[in-house]
A and B are shown apart, each in its own frame.
Chain A
Amino acid sequence: MIVKAKFLIPLAIVVIFAAACQSTPDEKVSVSGDSSSNIAEDSSISGSSEASIDSSDLDPSAPKPGTQEDLVQNVGDRIFFDLDSAVLSPQSRGILEKQAEWLRLFPDLSLTIEGHCDERGTREYNLALGERRASAVRSYLIALGVEGQRLNTISYGKERPYALGHDEEAWNLNRRSVSVIN
């Protein structure tokens, strides 16, 4: 049982993280790669997800409130964009509303909002588009009451992909903004 619990914690993190950032199956495989063979003899992954959330709540190593890990796991650090667009989807607005709430809890924190693009654009255009995306996020957070001086933006264009593939799935994950605590 001890062995089992040990594996459930990282698994729980993976599941929560994946849910928070709309991750892909690809990603789960790579994050939980080390223990996958052990998990295989366990009950099914989906079946144990509810139990694993409980055990992570009890875990003393759960992320400290107000940290990047907290933001990633409990709020959502990123949102995604349509092709060649900086428009915030309803789902994205939901995540940013949670970010604004979370920022109210930690008034000393400030964020850098990174704007990113997929690789299917030219370099300079993507730098401009990334800036447009990061600014869209910043503007919305300001509209939600976050002080502008707590929010920096930076565009990485297509220079810092998150997913390394060269297909629609990777491009969807790379058209994003990511909020990073300064």
Chain B
Amino acid sequence: MSMKSPFFLIHALFYNRPSSHMSLIKGLLIVFTIALSGCAALTIIPRTATADLTVDITRGYVEPMPLAIPDFLGTTAQEKKLGKDIAKVISRNLEFSGLFRPIDPKAFIEEMTPASILQPRFGDWRVINAQALVTGRVVEGQDQQFQVEFRLWDAFAGDQMLGLRFKSVKDLWRRIGHKASDAIYERLTGESGYFDTRIVYVSESGPLDRRVKRLAIMDQDGENLEFLTDGKALALTPRFSPTAQEITYLSFEKGAPRVYLRNLDTRTQEVLGEFRGMTFAPRFSPDGNQVVLTYAENGNSELYEMDLRNGQKYQLTKNTAIDTGPSYSPNGDFVAFESDRGGSQQIYIMDRNGGNVKRITFGKGRYGTPVWSPRGDLIAFTKQHRGQFSIGVIKPSGEGERILIRDYLVEGPTWAPNGRVLMFMRQTSRNPDTSELVTIDITGHNERIIFTTTAASDPAWSPVLP
């Protein structure tokens, strides 16, 4: 399978390091670093963190950074439209992250010209308190090709922080916007972006006792929606492969629930493995060569690892309890799962081969759906206690449990590829007949509803696209 990027060219032409200026923006960057590392003080220390600055601030609300993103310039009507639309995509992404506050274009003083996008009048931007400024332009080429170049400026220091040029086909203009958003986010926060990603989820419609559940896929911002299944059979718990080109999921297509493997490019699918009973709760290994799943027969659920290259299966658990919900650690050495072997549903970790099992949840209530962060530092879970559901995170050591959000039913967390944001499904007590997709930062702040055209559940966040 080809892994080639659809972008023919990605230039980093104009990259200057703001090395000589100990500017305000640098101060700001440090603030961001503190905030981000502080909120995940339990986690891997960000690249740019400095020891003496990560002390005081634990998790908390970050005042969003005001920045200005004027429409990208163009000469033809088509170029102008693309320039406007791409600037809008970037603005929306950055705003959604909760870390940035795009300034209303009505407040802009400087009018962008071919000259000013290369040398803005920083004073005009400082006056409206824009800490950062993004300028850019669109140039059409032959055969539906086009080129976008943009620059990120530190408005207070007057420095260029980033300059990139993308070249692609027109159909992919939104992805250019997402790639640019990722680059800006990364430059300003020191964390990798997560905007050029997709979400696969279960689209729900119809009455609850005959609910139609179809697999749907869309961009992280809700655009480019596409249905993958027709809804005749129940489809549940889709999960991305590490290349985002395949998904594994549960379908009732042949009556009994079975784990399927589906190629998103060729649109072909197959039942995974030969099992006599039902299979469910699949998840890819970090290298994409294996799928770990649950196989249930005669009232007993066990975990198996399937090798996709040779069809071999390997049993990981063996007891009379329910063992399900497996998730690999990002280094592939461990598997987190849920089991009621101790009397109630709790989260356990074991070696990849099934050995060395240890329980990590000991709080009051039941714990399920463990999902290992792509950074490896945390495991997200669904908890039930006193009739309420919550989404939380815990260290693989079992320490540092934190609840991020509670409701009538919140379930099934999935990580943004940078390990900073979780998405999950929610049924509110006010309206439990429907469900929605929600994101929240691991700080517990910036709760957002993802727009979907129907009720939605079981989201899975893709890795950043190639």
Chain A residues within CB distance 8 Å of chain B: 84, 86, 119-125, 127-129, 131-132, 135-136, 139, 154-156, 159-162, 164, 166
Expressed in whole angstroms, the Cα–Cα distance for A125 and B338 within the complex equals: 8
Question: Which B residues are in CB contact (< 8 Å) with A128?
Answer: 280, 294, 296, 301, 322, 324
Chain B residues within CB distance 8 Å of chain A: 207-211, 213, 234, 236-237, 250, 255-257, 277-278, 280-281, 294, 296-301, 322, 324-325, 338, 340, 344-345, 368-369, 382, 384, 387, 408-409, 411-412, 432-433, 458
Q: Are B384 and A120 in contact (CB under 8 A)?
A: yes
Q: Are B278 and A127 in contact (CB under 8 A)?
A: yes
Q: Are B369 and A124 in contact (CB under 8 A)?
A: yes
Question: Which B residues are in CB contact (< 8 Å) with A131?
Answer: 277-278, 296-297, 299, 301
Expressed in whole angstroms, the Cα–Cα distance for A139 and B300 within the complex equals: 13
Q: B213: which of A119, A159, A164 is its contact (CB, 8 Å)?
A: A159
Q: B209: which of A84, A127, A155, A162 is its contact (CB, 8 Å)?
A: A162
Expressed in whole angstroms, the Cα–Cα distance for A156 and B213 within the complex equals: 13
Q: Is the interface of B mostly helix, strand, loop or mixed?
A: strand
Expressed in whole angstroms, the Cα–Cα distance for A119 and B278 within the complex equals: 20
Q: Are B411 and A164 in contact (CB under 8 A)?
A: no
Q: Are B408 and A166 in contact (CB under 8 A)?
A: yes
Q: CB-nearest residue of chain A relative to B202?
A: A123
State how many angstroms separate the Cβ of A32 from the closest Cβ of chain B: 19
Q: B368: which of A119, A124, A164 is its contact (CB, 8 Å)?
A: A124
Question: Which A residues are in CB contact (< 8 Å) with B408?
Answer: 166
Expressed in whole angstroms, the Cα–Cα distance for A155 and B255 within the complex equals: 10
Question: Which B residues are in CB contact (< 8 Å) with A162?
Answer: 209
Can you show 15 pairs from A to B with CB atoms below 8 A apart? A86-B299, A120-B384, A121-B384, A122-B384, A123-B458, A125-B325, A127-B294, A128-B301, A131-B277, A131-B278, A131-B297, A135-B298, A136-B299, A159-B213, A161-B208
Expressed in whole angstroms, the Cα–Cα distance for A84 and B345 within the complex equals: 10
Expressed in whole angstroms, the Cα–Cα distance for A139 and B299 within the complex equals: 9
Expressed in whole angstroms, the Cα–Cα distance for A123 and B338 within the complex equals: 12
Expressed in whole angstroms, the Cα–Cα distance for A86 and B324 within the complex equals: 17
Q: B409: which of A84, A119, A155, A156 is its contact (CB, 8 Å)?
A: A119
Q: Are B369 and A135 in contact (CB under 8 A)?
A: no
Given A122-B411, A132-B300, A164-B209, 15 additional A-B pairs, CB 8 A: A120-B387, A122-B338, A122-B345, A124-B281, A125-B324, A127-B257, A128-B322, A128-B324, A131-B277, A155-B257, A155-B296, A159-B213, A162-B209, A164-B433, A166-B433
Question: Which A residues are in CB contact (< 8 Å) with B325?
Answer: 122, 124-125
Q: Are A122 and B278 in contact (CB under 8 A)?
A: no
Expressed in whole angstroms, the Cα–Cα distance for A140 and B275 within the complex equals: 24
Expressed in whole angstroms, the Cα–Cα distance for A141 and B355 within the complex equals: 37
State how many angstroms separate the Cβ of A139 from the closest Cβ of chain B: 7
State how many angstroms separate the Cβ of A180 from the closest Cβ of chain B: 12
Q: Are B338 and A132 in contact (CB under 8 A)?
A: no
From B209, B234, B296, residue with most partner A Cβ within 10 Å = B296
Q: Are B237 and A159 in contact (CB under 8 A)?
A: no
Q: Are B207 and A135 in contact (CB under 8 A)?
A: no
Q: CB-nearest residue of chain A relative to B425?
A: A123
Q: CB-nearest residue of chain A relative to B367?
A: A122
Question: Which B residues are in CB contact (< 8 Å) with A129?
Answer: 322
Question: Which A residues are in CB contact (< 8 Å) with B296?
Answer: 127-128, 131-132, 155
Question: Which B residues are in CB contact (< 8 Å) with A84?
Answer: 344
Question: Which B residues are in CB contact (< 8 Å) with A155?
Answer: 257, 278, 296
Q: A123: which of B277, B301, B340, B412 is its contact (CB, 8 Å)?
A: B412
Question: Which B residues are in CB contact (< 8 Å) with A156?
Answer: 234
Q: CB-nearest residue of chain A relative to B408?
A: A166
Q: Are B382 and A132 in contact (CB under 8 A)?
A: no
Expressed in whole angstroms, the Cα–Cα distance for A164 and B236 within the complex equals: 20
Q: CB-nearest residue of chain B relative to A160?
A: B209
Q: CB-nearest residue of chain B relative to A167?
A: B432
Contact (A124, B299) CB under 8 Å given A119-B409, A161-B209? no
Question: Which A residues are in CB contact (< 8 Å) with B409?
Answer: 119-120
Q: B299: which of A135, A154, A160, A161 is its contact (CB, 8 Å)?
A: A135
Question: Which B residues are in CB contact (< 8 Å) with A123?
Answer: 236-237, 369, 411-412, 458
Expressed in whole angstroms, the Cα–Cα distance for A123 and B384 within the complex equals: 13
Question: Which B residues are in CB contact (< 8 Å) with A136?
Answer: 299
State how many angstroms separate the Cβ of B369 from the closest Cβ of chain A: 5
